[in-house]
Amino acid sequence: MDLERDILNLITYSGEATSLSIEAIEYARNGEFAKAEDCFKEADEKLIMAHKVQTSLMHREAAGESFSMSILLVHAQDHLMNSITTNTLAKEFVKVFSELESLKKKGEA
């Protein structure tokens, strides 16, 4: 496998997951919770794809393949870590928006 391709895939999948997580917050802010959940489903799929790339790299290294530590590889790992954090926090934001929506409806009744 091509290391550079794997690194770029890791960055791409992670970046897409981050964007989808932010999009979910925007939908939730507008009360569109089904669309927010759709974004999370897609984001979770992207994170799984990123994890598969990361796991493949770790297995290859454990099997004796040598990788030079490049800025690009560190950048890719950074993207994945930030994407996971963003996804986790976005899910909490959506829960808060959902609770606020429920409280608003109770106040109108």
For the segment 2-54, what is each residue's pLDDT rounded down to a tens digit? 999 999 999 999 999 999 999 999 999 999 999 999 999 999 999 999 999 99
> Which pTM does this prediction carry?
0.91
The answer to whether 28 touches 98, Cβ cutoff 8 Å, is yes
Indicate which residues carry an active-site annotation. 75
Q: What is the mean pLDDT of residues 67-77?
A: 92
Q: Phi/psi of residue 26, each to 5°? A: -60, -40
Number of independent structural domains in the chain: 1
Closest residue by Cα to residue 50 from 22, 18, 26, 25: 18
The answer to whether the annotation marks 78 as part of a ligand binding site is yes
Q: What is the CATH number of the domain that holds 33?
A: 1.20.58.80
Q: Which domain holds residue 59?
A: 3-108
Q: Where are the alpha helices (DSSP H) in the chain?
A: 3-29, 33-62, 71-108
